[in-house]
Structure 1
Amino acid sequence: MTAVRTALADGITTRYEVIGTGPPLLMLSPGGFDSTLESWRTVGVYRQLDLLERLSARYTCITFDRREAGRSGGRLERLTWVGYVAQAIGLLDHLGVERAHVIGGCVGCSTAAALAVAHPQRVRSMVLYSPAGGMKYRMKQLDRFARHLAFVQAEGLAAVVALARSTDAGFATDPRVGPWNSVIRTDPAFAEAYAACDPARYALLVTGTARLMFDRDTVPGVEPEDLLCLDVPALIVPGEDDSHAPSAARYLQECLPRAELWDVPVAEQTRETAPARILEFLDRY
């Protein structure tokens, strides 16, 4: 069964898809600030893996547009990992799902880990696929926010609105459009309020988001002491580029007491091997 719908999750309009049958599997999308339900089929390594199709043969896969991405809504506030967790939990509540497996891809790994720390009773197991993190990843994120704020200071928030409406580029492709670009495009009332925001307040939202979300040179989102106390089984699959440093996966392996590291190069993570390894792990829990 496949259904694409919208729900209010943490008060935010959330576009989601349910596909497959079996135990629920909440899928936290890759794609950075442009994380949408389509990302599992279109972004990076996930294009080749057919994860959604393979996993939905045995699990009820729940995918969604993260807040401030795709067709989901958002709020003009400092963005936080706590806010991303609240949206995910709100969606599970809407669907009547008390407990689910969780898989995160890329930056979705940070939300998955934060969700497990905040609501361990809701998580049966988690798969952390190619976790985003590392020194170069942090530098890239901070630079992106700095470039956006420089554009705002030079041109104003109305210029951000005009630019966002003139292109379909996301924050990762063109930092000038900022992390609220998709909501500007889809919600005229939000766009009007955004353009009218006090510039000094907006600068605080942007700088606070960057500083507090990307505050370490490893996997952001959760304190190591909280991970060390987490009794949730986890499968970690490492990446190997500037945004998905192998050290990020090793850090999670070190911090999570019930972690398994599938330590194979990305080139060997194929549609034949990766879904099978994930299913083998999920089926045990």
Structure 2
Amino acid sequence: MYVVTGATGQLGSRIVRRLLERVPADQVGVSVQDVRAAASLTARGVRVRAGDFTEPATLAHAFEGASRVLVVSAAIRGAAAADAGRAAVTAARDAGADRVLYTSHQAASYDSLFLPQLTHAGTEARLAELGVPYTALRNGFYAATLGHYVGDAVASGVLALPEDGPFSWTAHDDLAEVAVAALVGDATLDGITAPLTAPEALDFEAVAGLVSEISGRAVTRVVVPDEQWVGDAVAAGTPAGVAEFTLGMFRAARRGEFAVTDPTLERVIGRPATSVREVLQDLVGQRA
């Protein structure tokens, strides 16, 4: 049985949908925090069980009988994040999985300026200790992140953000396709993968230019000092901790942490990756 965690999330849901195109539903299990949110999967014959990374005891039941487990990294912040990822991959090994897969990030590192990368690095280290074959899928930077900024930029004509650098903007659908290929064994992706990215790395100056072309409205990129940007975000209702967390993304980008691209993703999926322009066309269209 193939078991996938986070099956109701942005990436996990896409992975499960593609997996069900490849294997019968009775060979698929999912681990989710709220089984009610996965009712449509239950109706299709998928085994749905509750599992919580922060409560490792729940994972033994969620992963029971799995031959392969794909742990989709959870959106957990703080000290609990590092423990949660390690606990999940360990539980997959303990359940008897003969391969454990994990959605890591191309910038995973203990010295990253963006906190999630420290968590990914710790989980990768734990994978290497498990004593079973593993795959750490080093995903490119999620292009869907642009959705947090495009709407306001089109409305105001200004993309006002901290100083940044190039991002390896990569579409969830492409990453889901790679994950399924690795999960069912189509692709030989063993250990820590090469960066799984689209071929372009663009900064927000370039993004503003694309949004201008697509929307037909001039969008100007404005660089806002870090402290001012955090203060403005908090004044607009963003919790201070979230604003500081997000600022880490820009600091890491300006250091070049997300600037790497690689052809591996396109090789695995056998077609060109979804471009940033295509992602932005969808996002701008949703806000038209």
Q: TM-score, normalised by structure 2?
A: 0.35
TM value normalised by structure 1: 0.35
Which of structures 1 and 2 has the larger relative contact order (alpha carbons within 8 angstroms, sep 6+)? 1
Structure of greater Rg: 2
